[in-house]
Amino acid sequence: MTRLSSVIAPSFHTIHKDIKADAHTHYWLGGGRGSTKSSFVAIEIILGIMSDSNANCIALRKVKDTLRDSVYEQLSWAIEVLGVDDYWHKSISPLGLTYKPTGQQIRFRGADKPKKIKSIKFSKGYCKFLWYEEVDEFTGMEEIRMINQSLMRGGKKFTVFYSYNPPKSANNWVNAEVQLTRSDRVAHHSTYLSVPREWLGEQFIVEAEHLKLTKPTSYEHEYLGSVTGTGGEIFDNVQCRKISDEEIEDFYNIKRGLDYGYAIDPLAYGVMHYDRKYKRLYIFHELYKVGLSNRAAYEHIKEENKNNEEIIADSAEPKSISEMRQYGLRIRGVKKGPDSIEYGIKFLQDLEAIIIDDTRCPETAREFLTYELDKDANGNFKAGYPDRNNHSIDMVRYAMNDEAREFRDRKPADEKKEARRQRGYQQMDAFIRF
């Protein structure tokens, strides 16, 4: 009998116990080369099917043609290394693995044909296990949710694995997704450094160490699975976490912003607290919806804003502002200017932290985490900030516009003061040297 400690790397021991205890549903496993994350998933699926007579599995890649050389081979390896080859039937056409004693199956699908995923049925049991290998190749969580909704049916317990090498960009949808909080999810990171050297071989170590010496940034991304960034990330100060009711009760500097939308663009309304002393912004309420009338938005805002505190809205919509005033809201248009977008974003970038309750404000969190500069045809970053997927960001800028204008007006004076101070240091150094 194979000892699991001989096939599961130490970094996955706690995750193995978590899965065994049915503690969570979604397991996001990121890591660099040689971290054995895919090997771990394959072993867990084989063990899980053999221990639950109703469990089946669907293993997915974005492109169907990559299935055989990746997830199929990885699961076949797990069967062999666990010493249970006699209990499994392997099929190439169609691609599949069958547990002989019960007829349970592992099937393989490419997401390039999502309609075929919807029609999957099992003669025995249900699809308990799902595996998204190289999940960063998928287009985003909307695609993942559609597949999950189709497959996660007919059973009491599900285990979904998402394995990937973290993309360079901090604002890539995968890197953003794992920062969001869900009680039924675990995000885990692993590297080759926790794997026994004999599992990897000496040549693997040689290649890794050579890249570490010659191209350290590439080493960090490829072997350590670090999010090294592309340089185009706009907000690197975002934190996603639950903001408790007790915290909200103590907030005293409340700000409200409103960005209008209707046919294509969503209306975005948000509520936040600004801690001026510690330069922290707490965003804890949002209304974010396409096709919402001003009247329907007013009804929501009236219920949330019971004391009718002031709202700062997009001044490009004077008719909508007037309509909201007629309903009884205290609302005014934001003061814009040729540089208002730039200084508004720079003000937000300068904050120590933008703390977003991603359960209460999922769309606001998504926008801040994924906002990134555009590139031109040569791969260079374009000047200016993209005007898309930024409705909540605009709403926050409007709410904080007065503070942002103070920031803009204060900064030149601060820079001059700092320049004078530096010149004083230089003169002092020159005097000492003299």
The catalytic residues are 134
* Per-residue DSSP letter, 61: E
- Within 10 A of 30 (CB to CB), how many other CB atoms are there? 23
User: 267 and 259 in contact (C-beta within 8 Å)?
Assistant: yes
Nearest 5°: the CA angle 267, 339, 229 is: 75
Give the Cβ contact number of residue 26 at 10 Å.
17
List Cβ neighbours of 30 (8 Å cut-off, separation of 6 or more).
37, 163, 164, 165, 166, 174, 178, 187, 188, 189, 190, 225
3-state secondary structure of 36: coil
Between CA 60 and CA 17 the distance in angstroms is: 24
Nearest residue to 288 (alpha-carbon basis) of 391, 176, 369: 391
The answer to whether the CB of 168 falls within 8 A of the CB of 230 is yes
Please spell the DSSP secondary structure of 121-144, one letter per residue.
--SSSEEEEEEEETGGGS--HHHH
The Cα–Cα gap between 36 and 167 comes to: 18
Task: Write out the DSSP string of 300-355.
Answer: HHHHH-TT---EEE-TT-HHHHHHHHHHT--EEE----TTHHHHHHHHHHHSSEEE
Closest residue by Cα to residue 177 from 390, 395, 342, 370? 370
How is residue 49 annotated by DSSP? H
d(CA 367, CA 391): 8
How far apart, in whole angstroms, are the C-alpha atoms of residue 171 and residue 234? 9
Say how far apart CA 116 and CA 114 lie, in whole Å: 5
Report the greatest alpha carbon distance in the chain: 91
Beta bridge partners of 381: 375
Contact partners, residue 103, CB within 8 Å, separation at least 6: 123, 124
